[in-house]
Chains A and B, each alone.
Chain A
Amino acid sequence: EADIYQTPRYLVIGTGKKITLECSQTMGHDKMYWYQQDPGMELHLIHYSYGVNSTEKGDLSSESTVSRIRTEHFPLTLESARPSHTSQYLCASSGPGDRVAGELFFGEGSRLTVL
């Protein structure tokens, strides 16, 4: 079973609030990712990291930001939440290996609702 944890699992907040979604993994994986998932739609990559102090934006434009100060920790922050940010956010990691992405290990997700 994968050792990757996300908190909170569910969050309901008002417009304009700052939120941070936490993601931690204990597998020592160097690569970590944030995906956004809406019902009936495919997962969209919003941020990824190859290692400490390395972060990149993904394919889907997002107003969120991420940081990677420690290998095991990859938090996502929204400075001012809006209703359009309502979604499921999935954190994932993958281990060392060949250049092309190996198996992704996902957390259980953070479901964000902005009122």
Chain B
Amino acid sequence: KNQVEQSPQSLIILEGKNCTLQCNYTVSPFSNLRWYKQDTGRGPVSLTIMTFSENTKSNGRYTATLDADTKQSSLHITASQLSDSASYICVVSDRGSTLGRLYFGRGTQLTVWP
């Protein structure tokens, strides 16, 4: 069964600190992996996409990594801000899936304290 597992389930850090969120998947054949940010009461917004050939990609203070061999991805947040408090969702798509069928993780709930 294709699955996406995220850890930790929740995380509390102080403003200005760095953190790393993990995503392990068993989806095969792999096509791409996206990280979404979901603010409380809002819909998810895409942060970055990782394809099979990409190892690292940055979007401002967010840096995503992908190890396709071990089927692991991470999202590193540098110099956290209060506005980073949100749920971060890992979404993996496979090359054989019907359009629109994606595999979602349960998300990591990040809280940044002042």
* A interface residues, Cβ below 8 angstroms from B: 2, 4, 31, 33, 40-45, 48, 50, 58-59, 90, 92, 94, 99-101, 103-104, 106-109
Q: Which of B82-114 contact A (CB under 8 A)?
A: 89, 91, 93-95, 97, 99-102, 104-107
CB–CB A33/B100 < 8 A: yes
Q: Contact residues of B with A, CB < 8 Å?
A: 4, 9, 31-32, 34, 36, 41-46, 49, 89, 91, 93-95, 97, 99-102, 104-107
- The answer to whether A31 and B100 have CB atoms under 8 Å apart is yes
B95 pairs with A106, CB closer than 8 A:
no
The distance in angstroms between the C-alpha atoms of A48 and B104, with both chains bound, is 16
Chain A nearest Cβ from B37, distance in angstroms: 11
Which residue of chain B lies nearest to A35 when distances are taken between CB atoms in the complex? B104
The 9 closest A-B pairs by CB, nearest first: A106-B43, A42-B104, A48-B100, A43-B104, A100-B31, A103-B46, A42-B106, A106-B44, A108-B43
Give the complex CA separation of A44 and B93 in angstroms: 14
Q: Is the CB of A100 within 8 A of B95?
A: yes
User: In the complex, are the beta carbons of A103 and B43 less than 8 A apart?
Assistant: no
Given A42-B105, A43-B104, answer yes or no on A101-B99 (Cβ-Cβ < 8 Å): yes
Max chain B CB contacts within 10 Å: which of A42, A45, A92, A94? A42
